Each structure stands twice: as C-alpha cells, then as structure tokens.
A and B are shown apart, each in its own frame.
Chain A
Amino acid sequence: MRFSRWTLLWLALGIAIIAGVMIGTMRLSLADLVHGVIGVGEPMPIAVVRTLRLPRVLLAALVGAGLGAAGAALQGATRNRLAEPYLLGISGGAAVGAVLATALHTPIALVPVAGFVGALVAVALTLLVARASGGRGDARVVLMAGVVVGAFANSVIMVALANADASAVRGALWWMMGSVAEASWTQVRVLAIFVAIGIGALIAFGRAIDVLALGDDTAAGLGIDVARVTLGVYVVGALLAAGTVSAAGLVGFVGLLVPHLVRLAGARTHRAIIGAAALAGASLVVCADLIARVAMPPAELPLGAVTALIGVPFFLALLRRLA
C-alpha cells in the first residue's frame, strides 16, 4: 500500500473519533471537545467528553482494531476468506460464560470476565478437539472443531436459559448483542495494552502468513514450521478477539468484512493487511457506535446489530464481485 493510503486510513479514524465525541444526545462543538481534552472551560462539556464520550469512542476504536486485525490474520492463516475472529468457538464460549454468570446472579461487573473465560475455554477446547482429530495445523479440521464447539456451546446456553428468569435472559442477550455504552477508562486502558500487544504480535506473524498462504509444502520449503505458526496465529487472534468480547460483547461482521475491504483497496501482504484492517476496523466500529447512539433516540441500538446492518449490504456487494 502506498503512503497516501495509510494517511487516509489514519485521517478517517481521526475524523471518526472526533465525530464520535462531538455527536450525541448533547451536541458538542469542536471548542467543547478541545476544552474537554485539555480540561479548561465549562464543567459540563468537560464532564461529558471526559467521562462519557471519549472513553466510549476509544473503547469502540480498540474493539474495532482488535477485531479487524484478528480477522485479517485468521483469514490469512486459515487460507479461508470466510474465517473471522469468532471462528474458534469464541462467540459461543463467551456467550456461555456470560449466560452462566447472569443465571447464577453474579455481579454485573463480573459478566465480562466470565465471557472472557468462556471464550478462552472454548478456544482451548476447539484446538484440543482439532488436535485429537489429528489436524493440528490443518485449517479445515480446526474450522470444523470450532463449529462443533460452537454447537455444544449453543446447547449449553439453551439449557441454562430454560431455567433462568426473564431478566437474566434479557441481560445475557443484551450483553451478547454488543455495546460500548458502559465504557470506563479502566476498560480502555486494559484493552489498549491488550490490543497493542496482540496487533504487534500478529504483524510480526505477517510475513510468515504470506508464506503460509502458498500452501503447507511450499511454506515448509521456505523454512516455516507450519503447525507452529498456524497455532500461534490462532492463539493470538483468539486472545485478541476474546479481549474485545469481554469489553464490548459480540460485535459481529467487523472481523469478517474489514479484511475484505482492505484487500479490495489493494493491500496484499499480511503485514499491511493486518495493520490496515486494524485502522479500518477501528473507524468502522466508532461509526457504528455513533449510529447506534443517534439512530433511534432515546433508545440505543445494540452495537452488534448496527455492524451487522452495515455489514450485510457490503457483503452482498462483495459476493457479486466474487461470483
């Protein structure tokens, strides 16, 4: 990718973040935004910027960056354009964790933690199932194992919900639909570290993913330990996705769609694809959250629903191009 495209991506993210902070139930001016950031001026806008909008927008950006990068890396490592960050059973596992936590009346603050743990258990289970089936590095076996674990997670959710009361069901469902409304600075800080390390690691895998895409035997001939690199990308990608899930629930379609857009825009090597997908994913989720807030006031739409609504037509257009 040329330099100007990177500038464009950063610029788009900058504009999305500024718009995300300014637009909302209380409309802020650019001056309010600046005052809020430097902490000078009227207390009200400062409070809105500092405690509500900025953490929310930044959390959305981090979630999008993580999902975009994880999706790009996983598509590359599995050599499958339909791969996405939740493919290793993450969504099912996270949902089981969240549903069990709500069904057992754990404090609401612990629901994300339960979701994270559930996601990790599901990933471990998927990789173990794949390994037991003899397909340690084989993408198809891992994808199938992910489907199996996801189906199992669904059945667990249904059993758990059958006995839960209505409010618990609603709470769990709401969390699964994705939201950054409850964003706090602590969440932003934790996720920022998580996402920075995760994306860094995936970019480090970038060249190896390029070689992996040539096929197992050729990759081995170029000095790659195929099973180890694939497993590495799975684990890092899954951790990254699980981190975003624990911060914002399930935000679908981002990890599937953004890598496609980035490839369409001309990125071909995975270091570029992963980096660009992180930036584009961040912009997309910030915009989606903005839409979620202002589309049907005073109600807020679930973030996952908005990303899916944006994603579906995009994907239909992509399908037409591919067919």
Chain B
Amino acid sequence: MIAFREVVVRYRGSAQLALDSVSLDAVRARITAVVGPNGSGKSTLVRALVGSIPLVSGSIAVDGESMDGSTRRQRATRIAIVTQREEPAFPLTVLEYVSLGRYPHLGVWRSPTKVDRDAVARAFELTETQPFERRAITELSGGEWQRVRLARAVAQGGDAIVLDEPTTFLDVGHEMAIFELLSRLAAEGQAVLLVSHQLNLVARFASNMILLKGGRVEAAGEPAAVMQGNILERVYDWPLVVTRDPAVGAPTLVPLRVRPRSARVE
C-alpha cells in the first residue's frame, strides 16, 4: 500500500505549494485514481513518490515503511512508474527495453539471474506483448508502445505501480485494453495508482478516487461520492452534469456547451 500523509511540496522559486497537505491511500488489489484539472498537482504527486523532488513536510510510506531514508533504487524496487511521456533517445528491442525494468535490482555489475528472467517473462505474459519481443521500440504503434511500457513496469516487480495518464494518445479500443490490463494487475494483488483525465473510465475501474485542485484534495472516496455534479463543476470550472451511464450504470460526466453570452450580429 502507498500512503501519503499530509504531504507538502513546493517547487523552487514558486510561492505556491504544488501539493498542500495531501493524504491518500492506494491499497493493494485495487485501482486508486487521482484526477483533477491541469496543474492540480497530479504529476507532482508522482515526482514526490519517486523522490525526485523533496517533501517540505509530511511522509510517504509503502506498506507501512517510510520512504524518507530509502535510496532511489530501493524505492524503485518497490514502486514502478509509468510516466506521462517517454521518448527513448536510442533504439532498443522490446526485450532489451522491458529488461531495463530490472535495473534497480541489478545495479552496476550483477548479471541477470533466473529471477530477473522470470520477472521479464511474466511481464510479457501479463501484458500480452510477447509477439513484439524482437521488434525495435521505435517501430511500435502508440497502443503497443504503452503496453510495452507497462510490461517494463511490471518487470520491475514491485508491490505498487503508478501510471501518469497512460492512455492520453490512445483510441477507445487501446484505451480499454490498458484499463483492463490495470484491473488485471490489481487482481494479481498490486496496488495500482492511476493519474488520469478520463473521469468516466476511472469511475468504472477504480475503487477509490482522489480529486485534486491547486495541490489540495477537493474530494476523495468511492467514485459515486466524488463524481458529483456540483463538485466537479466547481473544480473544473465548466458547466457539466453527472448522469448514470445507461449501459453500465456507472456515474458519467457530461460536459455542457456554453451558449454564446451575446450573439453578436453585426
């Protein structure tokens, strides 16, 4: 389980807090989703978790163990991150790329053992990316690439996996495939922490939602509790309604069109 306790983060040279006393739990075997408008602190949350920005106060713990004293490599053995964007500078094969997920376990000199090879094989199997194994990562389609990136994170073999908007550039089919894959990972016992703009999908897949705005938690809880018209309208600063999806029964956000305030006919 990943637990944030009153985490405060401030970027250097900025007067505003990027995260203002954020607390949240991402429990095992569940998908926990962090949502919120652009600039609400979602990506900062991921950076704080990795340790690439220091906490002003508060704490982050994984399975009850504080991350304060742990090195980045120790963190990386427990939490795998799939960042928002990733553009590898040099071509690798998919197998080589997924194997890089074992880096935090290998370090500088240790050679891969059976444990490492098994972890990579399992990642391929779970993400159904085996067919691409020999291809160059530069030759994959957007959907394939996202799945391969997930495979790398699974190969990392931690207890938690964190994804920052993993479906941004994907079509409906590939997006659903990623979400199904995430719920499969959760079913395997992983804690899945998902940062996403796709509120409607998140409401169907996640068991817990955290709504951020301006670095603060505006609402948290089950999707039905967070997906409230008045809350979302305020946070996203846009007129909208929340209905129930007629097909699956999940709360669904429908943004409304703004009527032109004064139709000028000149």
Is the pair B103, A222 in contact by a Cβ cutoff of 8 Å? Answer: yes
Q: Give the distance to chain B from A273, nearest Cβ to Cβ, in Å.
A: 9
Name the CB-closest residue of A to B107. A207
Is the pair A222, B100 in contact by a Cβ cutoff of 8 Å? Answer: yes
Is the pair B86, A218 in contact by a Cβ cutoff of 8 Å? Answer: yes
Chain B contact residue count (CB 8 A cutoff):
38
Cβ of B77 < 8 Å from any Cβ of A?
yes
Interface of B is mostly: mixed
Chain B residues whose CB sits within 8 angstroms of the CB of A263 once the complex forms: 90
A64 to B201, CA, bound (A): 57
Q: Give the distance to chain A from B147, nearest Cβ to Cβ, in Å.
A: 16
Cβ of A42 < 8 Å from any Cβ of B?
no
Chain B residues whose CB sits within 8 angstroms of the CB of A214 once the complex forms: 86, 88, 100
Is the pair B83, A215 in contact by a Cβ cutoff of 8 Å? Answer: yes
Name the CB-closest residue of A to B71. A223
CB under 8 Å from chain B, chain A span 209-225: 210-211, 213-218, 220-225
Is the pair B81, A218 in contact by a Cβ cutoff of 8 Å? Answer: yes
Is the pair B92, A222 in contact by a Cβ cutoff of 8 Å? Answer: no
Is the pair A268, B100 in contact by a Cβ cutoff of 8 Å? Answer: no
Is the pair A215, B52 in contact by a Cβ cutoff of 8 Å? Answer: no
What is the 8 Å Cβ interface bit string for chain A, positions 198-216, against chain B (1 contact, 0 not)?
Answer: 0000001001101101111
Chain B residues whose CB sits within 8 angstroms of the CB of A220 once the complex forms: 47, 50-52, 72, 81
From B51, B89, B91, B109, name the one whose CB has the most chain A CB atoms within 10 angstroms. Answer: B89
Is the pair A218, B83 in contact by a Cβ cutoff of 8 Å? Answer: yes
Cβ of A79 < 8 Å from any Cβ of B?
yes
Which of B51, B92, B108 is in CB contact (< 8 Å) with A268? Answer: B92
Q: Give the distance to chain A from B112, nearest Cβ to Cβ, in Å.
A: 11
Q: Evaluate whether A268 and B96 lie within 8 angstroms (CB atoms) in the complex, with A213-B89, A218-B86 already known.
A: yes
Is the pair A215, B85 in contact by a Cβ cutoff of 8 Å? Answer: yes
Chain A residues whose CB sits within 8 angstroms of the CB of B156 once the complex forms: 222
Q: Give the distance to chain A from B41, nearest Cβ to Cβ, in Å.
A: 16
Cβ of B58 < 8 Å from any Cβ of A?
no
Q: Give the distance to chain A from B135, nearest Cβ to Cβ, in Å.
A: 13
Is the pair B83, A217 in contact by a Cβ cutoff of 8 Å? Answer: yes
Is the pair A221, B81 in contact by a Cβ cutoff of 8 Å? Answer: yes
Is the pair B100, A211 in contact by a Cβ cutoff of 8 Å? Answer: yes
Cβ of B227 < 8 Å from any Cβ of A?
no
Of the A-B pairs whose beta carbons lie under 8 Å apart in the complex, a sample of 6, sorted by A's number, is A76-B90, A204-B109, A214-B100, A215-B85, A221-B76, A223-B72
Q: Which residues of B contact A (CB under 8 A)?
A: 46-47, 50-52, 71-77, 79-93, 96, 100-101, 103-104, 106-109, 156, 162
Minimum-distance CB pairs A-B, first 9: A223-B76, A221-B81, A79-B89, A223-B73, A223-B104, A217-B83, A220-B52, A213-B89, A223-B72
